[in-house]
Homo-oligomer: A and B are copies of this chain.
């Protein structure tokens, strides 16, 4: 379990309190950065006392693994929901299929941006806190993608499907996340396309990559 710093919540009341705290945290993350949220802030938002937070969590950092868990759970659900069935893959146009997938992924990421932003930043700032759950998530994503590539291998140029699966998730994720999280006004890599058009561009990039033959 990644939430090794959360105290066991056995009683019904404890579980409710823990839920209230996570809900409060999520609400506050829509407004400000994790580090800018103080424990009193959190307690107030959740409607409990400061001491109660420490009865549930060893310290403030212990919330981070739970955020990761939240993200992991929602991602897994999303992956499941968005998975295409084998028969659809066979019949569909590959480029179009990728676009549909990418739109869904982008939409999901934008909805969960507040969580992902925290996970992103804190994952970088406090790598020791994040547990290993995300590795499983990554493996699942990779496996799903690998299976997908298997279904379309005759229609693509890449021959090393493992490497291609890895690369295409990497490229799509970094591109989508950057845009969804930060590309509104901050500095960085400006791109004019927005929304579905942006997702389509990324899909095309993946499509171009898959189409590529050996060097």
Contact = CB atoms under 8 A, between A and B. Distances in A.
Interface of A: 33, 35, 68, 95, 117, 119, 121, 123-125, 127, 130, 134-135, 138, 163, 166-167, 169-171, 173-175, 178, 181-182, 185-193, 201-202, 204-205, 207-212, 215
- Count of this chain's copies in the oligomeric assembly: 4
Contact of A212 (B134, B138, B208): B208
26 contacts: A33-B125, A68-B187, A123-B182, A123-B188, A124-B181, A127-B185, A127-B186, A127-B187, A134-B188, A138-B190, A163-B193, A163-B201, A166-B192, A167-B191, A167-B193, A170-B175, A170-B191, A171-B205, A173-B188, A174-B178, A178-B178, A204-B209, A204-B212, A204-B215, A208-B212, A211-B212
A186 B138 contact: no
A84 to B, nearest CB: 19
A113 to B, nearest CB: 12
Contacts of A207: 208, 212
* Chain A facing B: main interface SS: helix
Contact of A130 (B95, B173, B187, B201): B187
B169 A189 contact: yes
- Residue with the greatest number of chain B CB neighbours at <10 A, chosen from A138, A166, A186: A186
A152 B53 CA distance: 61
A163 to B, nearest CB: 7
Contact of A123 (B174, B187, B211): B187
A209 B206 CA distance: 8
B189 A138 contact: yes
A191 B207 CA distance: 19
A206 to B, nearest CB: 8
A162 B170 CA distance: 25
Contacts of A123: 182, 186-188
Contacts of A166: 190-192
B205 A167 contact: yes
Given A124-B186, A163-B193, 12 more contacts: A121-B124, A163-B201, A166-B190, A167-B191, A171-B171, A173-B188, A174-B189, A204-B212, A205-B205, A208-B211, A209-B209, A211-B212
